[in-house]
């Protein structure tokens, strides 16, 4: 069977990303792009149910992941996987830019008693695209799923129309904003790695913990992933991108005599293996991790504290990542959803108002790739909707000026600024974040001011926090992702536990390490309670809810009042000592 393939196969396209100014040359032949392009064109012209309009917008995506991962414990491999997978996502919009099937949650009674969706037959859909770059197979995969999605979205649109006949709309915003066609084409990449060499290296790194009988559990993992993305839209956007990420992640824990478990970890990130720290450097870091955990397992238990706290180094970045970063998004409340108790816009509703001290600003820098020789994660050249990102000054001299937005208009942002997201049910995302202060102080000056605030509050001691639990894995108590997400929907959130912290006695100056503390509930007010910033800005990796890392550049910060409570033990020590303790 002869198949007419568009001139994309024989025409070399030169594309310039205007935001970066770098010329990019696409491959002379791309069967994947050609198949997607031809099937999208057919979908726009021919897909139509009687009595209903055809799609007004389509976006076809393919994500190709090429992965290698190896994990080891105490010098022994516990898992090793290598996989290549393609997933795809046909997005169909029915109606018009003004009013379409989106921004609507179906009523609970939409589903029939047998659990199937009413209105059309539930089909078993293909969830993965063909690994082989086969023209016919790719087209058929999109055909089946575009047909399914179109029928579903037609029904969504009709349900939405019926819904607004009975209820008044809270706003008159359009459902989707128009986008300018973008051409951004990079060559797809493939993973080539010496798997045996990296397996041996991870075994050597994990064996470091063998020397420390006080370490209860430990592991080290190496991950490398290449993500090739193909994205086309009916507006003319054509994107082919390739991203590479390399990560070495380690976690370990120790247990105190009273049963309390202290868990901590280290992460090394790079876009290329050559940019990872040397093996000797990583060994020193992991040795320091083991010694720190054992030392902290013998630390004094924290008492209730309410007063000034110095968030030093990484702790400051983690504070901003938890309290500020998730809310820098222009959320939109879908029709049909009861959002009375949900406050995704806890920051957005303060747009134009002061949210931080006047000396503080925050900017989003999607094109940042390096800071003081640290390779940065979180940036992107094109967002998930095929829009070129803009640099954003989110907070200017303490005032919230704008938010990260995609093509889903909201009362805060009517147009996309190139931060659209298709993951996690959120319509926008931030990139690399910079928290900056006009006035800074040295570490010694911050500590002196911390002591003065403590004396003014008639306290016996003050606290310094160096590290917080980064995510669900590294707290002394494991926290579910669901509980983290629920905090994003409440006016009061919860900072992850302090992992590395100590108190300074205001009379003697003695420093005492502490453990088993937890922060009390926090609100946006904590940002206004920042009274000083350090001169030690640095890039720190922090983990979001989807297990991805991004970098946040931040100085140390002193906050005038923070509540820390005692965390109760929930574990008991082992009945007999471990096999490596004698």
The two structure tokens encoding residue 511: 């420093």
The full DSSP string for 210-245 is GG-TTEEEEEEEEEEEEEEEEEEETTS-EEEEEEEE
Report, as an integer, the average pLDDT of 11-20.
32
Whose structure tokens read 């209860």?
A: 216
> How far is it, in rounded angstroms, from Cα 199 to Cα 533?
42
Place of tokens 């920042």: 530
More confident residue, 362 or 338: 362
Average pLDDT over residues 105-127: 48
> Cα separations (Å) of 412 from 27, 171, 351, 408?
40, 12, 8, 11
Q: How many residues does the chain have?
A: 582
Residue 238, H or E segment: strand 238-255
The number of helix segments (H) and strand segments (E) in the chain equals 8, 24
Structure tokens at 452: 């003065």
Per-residue pLDDT of 139-148, as tens digits, reads: 999 999 999 9
Of 87, 192, 89, 91, which Cα lies nearest the Cα of 131? 87
The residues with which 549 forms a beta bridge, in sequence order, are: 543
Alpha helices in 472-541 (DSSP H): 481-488, 525-528
Nearest Cα residue to 381 out of 176, 226, 224, 186: 186
pLDDT of 471-505, one tens digit each? 544 433 334 434 444 444 444 567 889 999 999 99
Q: How far is residue 217's CA from residue 253's CA, in Å, rounded to a whole number? A: 6
Does the structure show a pLDDT above 90 at 343? no
Of 1, 82, 94, the closest CA to residue 56 belongs to 94
Task: Report the candidate in 43, 66, 55 with the shortest Cα–Cα distance to residue 141.
Answer: 43
Residue pair 364/419 in contact by the 8 Å Cβ criterion:
yes
Distance of CA 491 to the CA centre of its chain: 21
Would you place residue 11 in the very low, low, confident or very high pLDDT band (cuts 50, 70, 90)? very low
Please state the rounded mean pLDDT for residues 265-270. 95
Within 10 Å of residue 38's Cβ, how many Cβ atoms?
19
| Per-residue model confidence as pLDDT tens digits over 510-535 | 999 999 999 999 988 999 999 999 99
* pLDDT at site 75: 97
**Cα–Cα distances in Å, from 180 out to 94, 367, 415, 495, 544?**
19, 20, 12, 40, 30
pLDDT at 426: 78
For residue 22, is pLDDT > 50?
no
> Which residue matches tokens 């919230």?
400
By C-alpha distance, which of 504, 515, 502, 512 is closest to 466?
Answer: 502
3-state helix vs strand vs coil in the chain, percent to 5: 25, 30, 45
pLDDT band at 114 (very low <50, low <70, confident <90, very high): very low
3-state class of 578 per DSSP?
coil
| Rounded-to-integer distance, Cα 30 and Cα 38, Å | 12
Q: Within 429-497, where are the H helices?
A: 443-456, 481-488
Banded model confidence at residue 165, pLDDT cuts 50, 70, 90: confident
Kindly state the average pLDDT of the residues 215-219. 95
Q: pLDDT at residue 12 above 90?
A: no
Taking residue 128's Cβ as centre, other Cβ atoms within 10 Å add up to 10
Q: Look at phi and psi of residue 106 and say left if phi exceeds 0, alpha if psi is from -120 to 50, else beta.
A: beta
Cα–Cα distance, 510 to 503 (Å, whole number): 8
Q: Burial of 465 by CB count in 10 Å (0-12 exposed, 13-18 middle, 19+ buried)? A: buried
């Amino acid at each position: 069977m002869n198949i007419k393939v568009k001139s994309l196969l024989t025409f070399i396209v030169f594309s310039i990303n205007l935001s970066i100014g770098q010329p990019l040359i696409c491959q002379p032949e791309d069967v994947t792009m050609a198949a997607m392009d031809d099937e999208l064109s057919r979908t726009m012209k021919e897909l139509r149910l009687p009595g209903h309009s055809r799609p007004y917008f389509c976006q076809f995506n393919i994500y190709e992941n090429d992965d290698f991962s190896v994990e080891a414990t105490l010098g022994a491999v516990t898992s090793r996987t290598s996989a290549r997978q393609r997933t795809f996502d046909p997005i169909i919009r029915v109606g018009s830019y003004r009013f379409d099937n989106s921004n609507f949650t179906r009523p609970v009674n939409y589903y029939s008693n047998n659990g199937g969706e009413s209105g059309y037959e539930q089909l078993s859909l293909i969830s993965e695209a063909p690994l082989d770059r086969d023209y016919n197979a790719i087209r058929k995969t999109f055909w089946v799923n575009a047909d399914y999605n179109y029928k579903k979205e037609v029904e969504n649109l009709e349900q939405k129309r019926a819904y607004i006949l009975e209820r008044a709309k809270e706003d008159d915003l359009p459902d989707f904003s128009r986008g300018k066609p973008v051409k951004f084409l990079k060559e797809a990449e493939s993973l080539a790695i010496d798997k045996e060499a990296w397996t041996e290296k991870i075994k050597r790194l994990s064996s470091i913990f063998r020397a420390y009988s006080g370490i209860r559990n430990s592991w080290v993992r190496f991950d490398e992933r290449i993500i090739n993305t193909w994205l086309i839209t009916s507006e003319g956007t054509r994107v082919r991108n390739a991203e590479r990420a390399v990560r070495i992640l380690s976690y370990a824990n120790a247990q105190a005599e009273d049963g309390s478990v202290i868990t901590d970890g280290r992460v090394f990130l790079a876009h290329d293996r050559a940019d990872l720290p040397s093996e000797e450097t990583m060994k020193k870091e992991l040795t320091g991790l083991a010694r720190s955990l054992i030392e902290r397992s013998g630390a004094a238990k924290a008492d209730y504290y309410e007063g000034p706290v110095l968030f030093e180094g990484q702790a400051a970045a983690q504070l901003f990542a938890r309290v500020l970063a998730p809310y820098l998004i222009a959320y939109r409340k879908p029709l049909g959803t009861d959002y009375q108790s949900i406050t995704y816009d806890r920051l957005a509703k303060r747009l134009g108002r002061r949210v931080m001290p006047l000396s503080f600003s925050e900017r989003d820098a999607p094109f940042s790739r390096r800071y003081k020789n640290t390779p940065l994660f979180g940036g992107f050249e094109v967002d998930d909707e095929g829009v070129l990102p803009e640099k954003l000054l989110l907070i200017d001299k303490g005032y919230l000026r704008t938010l990260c937005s995609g093509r889903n208009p909201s009362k805060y942002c009517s147009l996309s600024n190139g931060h659209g997201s298709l993951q996690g049910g959120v319509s926008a995302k931030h990139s690399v974040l910079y928290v900056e202060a006009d006035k800074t102080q040295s570490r010694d000056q911050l500590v002196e001011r911390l002591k003065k605030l403590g004396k003014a509050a008639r306290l016996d001691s003050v606290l310094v926090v160096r590290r917080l639990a980064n995510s669900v894995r590294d707290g002394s108590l494991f926290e579910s992702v669901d509980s983290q997400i629920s905090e994003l929907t409440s006016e009061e959130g919860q900072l992850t536990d302090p992992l590395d912290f100590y108190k300074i006695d205001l009379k003697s100056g003695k420093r005492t390490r502490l453990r088993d503390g937890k922060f009390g509930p926090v609100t946006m007010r904590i940002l206004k309670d920042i009274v000083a910033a350090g001169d030690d800005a640095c890039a720190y990796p922090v983990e979001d809810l989807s297990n991805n890392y991004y970098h946040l550049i931040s100085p140390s910060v002193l906050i005038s009042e923070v509540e820390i409570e005692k965390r109760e033990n929930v574990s008991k020590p082992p009945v007999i000592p471990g096999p490596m303790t004698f």
